[in-house]
Structure 1
Amino acid sequence: MRIITGEYGGRRLKAVPGNNTRPTTDKVKESIFNIIGPYFNGGNCLDLFAGSGGLAIEAVSRGMDSAVLIDRDPLAIKTIKENISVTKELDKFEIYRNDANRAIDLLRGKKKFDLLFLDPPYAKQEIEKQIEKIVDSDLLNDEAIIICEVDKRTQLNENIGAAKVFRKEVYGASQIVMYEYAKEMGK
């Protein structure tokens, strides 16, 4: 695994030891960023199931101002810290060991996000409920992008609150479902 491009491009990333996480492959990561825009002009990123931290680190490398990374696995948190250290810009990242649903509650009123990654363990995913909770908690800026990685057989609703699907792609056993949040739609 590596950081594909941007400020930290080419730097190597470690995977979380063991079989508890399923890292997004470089091919899928590159495809995601080619679709949502190869570079960003600032903004905040939230990765609720960060694993190795690769997606959030890539987003900051490509121009996001900051990223909040959440994972409940202690090995994942250790790996995220090691991977963030290769950026030499630790101040751009906040790392929390926590359950995703509790993290949403804790973030309420503290920060708003422009990019959200949801890549939970396939067997335990509650993506639709979590997106609703994030929207209800007012954690997204208007036109925020939500990237969900799910099993290719999973069917997510086209609209979840004020979030609407704009693209779906299948890569092997995984499916990427992309939503855009439109505050006006939720009113």
Structure 2
Amino acid sequence: MQIIAGKARSIELNVPPGMGVRPTAGRSRKALFDSIGGALPGCCVLDLFAGSGALALEAASRGAAALWLVESNPRHAAVIEENIRKVRRAGVEAPIELLRASVLDTAVWVRRIVPAPDFIFADPPYAESAEFFRQLTADARFTEAFAGARLIWEIPDTPGAVGNFLSSSGVTSLQVRRFGGSDFLLGELCHA
């Protein structure tokens, strides 16, 4: 898996072994980031369920100003640290902080995200994705801290999965868009 564009273009990223991580496919990542276009440079980015860090590191390569990655699995976190070193060697200078915490344990990590992110990417394990979405978007600590941020959540590729993501009091302007063969829920965080 490679960084697609920007300062770290063509850098090969490591991926944690096994099925615990399913990185967003390259063509989906390319289409997603191409759709964001010029809005990314200078923005702050939060990557939830970071896995390999591919989404945040792609944003870093394309000019994001500050990045936070939340990952609880120690093996995945070790891979993310290796990948951060790779993009640093390619010239990416933006602050990148790896937060070793459960995404749902917002009391541990939310207060460390300053300034608030402009973009929040989430690509959790498919089996628990809808439940993670429900819990996180109902968490007042999360929605109040990051109100106004653009949420981009990869939806599982199972039949009927989209319906599990369309009712949330913590997200407005919901829409589902397909990028390179993968569905993403796009919305804006608001107070739950």
Same topology, TM > 0.5: yes
Q: Residue 99 of structure 1: SS of its match in structure 2?
A: coil
Q: Residue 37 of structure 1: SS of its match in structure 2?
A: helix
The answer on whether the counterparts of 1:46 and 1:113 sit within 8 Å (CA) in structure 2 is yes
Which residue matches 1:121? 125
Which residue matches 2:12? 12
> 2:88 matched to 1:70?
no
Query: Which digits, 9 at most, give the CA deviation of each residue in 1:153-182, with x for residues without a partner?
Result: 31211654243214421765x42111134x
CA gap of 1:71–1:23, structure 2 versus 1, over 3 A, is same
CA gap of 1:131–1:7, structure 2 versus 1, over 3 A, is farther
Give me the TM-score of the superposition, normalised by structure 1.
0.84
Which residue matches 2:108? 106
In 1, distance between residues paired with 2:13 and 2:144? 32
In 1, distance between residues paired with 2:110 and 2:144? 7
Q: Which runs of 5+ in 1 are unaligned?
A: none
**In structure 2, which of residues 178, 184, 188 is the aligned counterpart of residue 169 of structure 1?**
178
The answer on whether the counterparts of 1:131 and 1:160 sit within 8 Å (CA) in structure 2 is yes
The answer on whether the counterparts of 1:159 and 1:165 sit within 8 Å (CA) in structure 2 is no
Letter of the structure 1 residue corresponding to residue 6 of structure 2: G
**In structure 2, which of residues 136, 147, 150 is the aligned counterpart of residue 145 of structure 1?**
150
> 2:102 matched to 1:96?
no
Q: Residue 28 of structure 2: SS of its match in structure 1?
A: helix
Higher strand proportion:
1
Letter of the structure 2 residue corresponding to residue 96 of structure 1: L
1:27-106 residue pairs with structure 2 within 5 A?
27-37=27-37, 40-88=40-88, 89=92, 92-102=95-105, 104-106=106-108
| Paired residue total | 181
Question: How far 1:46 moved relative to its partner?
Answer: 0.9
Question: How far 1:132 moved relative to its partner?
Answer: 3.1
Question: How far 1:13 moved relative to its partner?
Answer: 0.7
The answer on whether the counterparts of 1:134 and 1:140 sit within 8 Å (CA) in structure 2 is no
Question: How far 1:133 moved relative to its partner?
Answer: 1.9
Runs of 4+ in 1 over 6 A off after TM superposition: none
In 2, distance between residues paired with 1:166 and 1:137? 18
Question: How far 1:138 moved relative to its partner?
Answer: 2.5
In 2, distance between residues paired with 1:31 and 1:5? 12
Question: How far 1:67 moved relative to its partner?
Answer: 1.1
Query: Which digits, 9 at most, give the CA deviation of each residue in 1:77-132, with x for residues without a partner?
Result: 11101111111257621112211111x22233442111111111111222132123
Identity of aligned residues (%): 28
In 2, distance between residues paired with 1:166 and 1:109? 28
Q: Which runs of 5+ in 2 are unaligned?
A: none
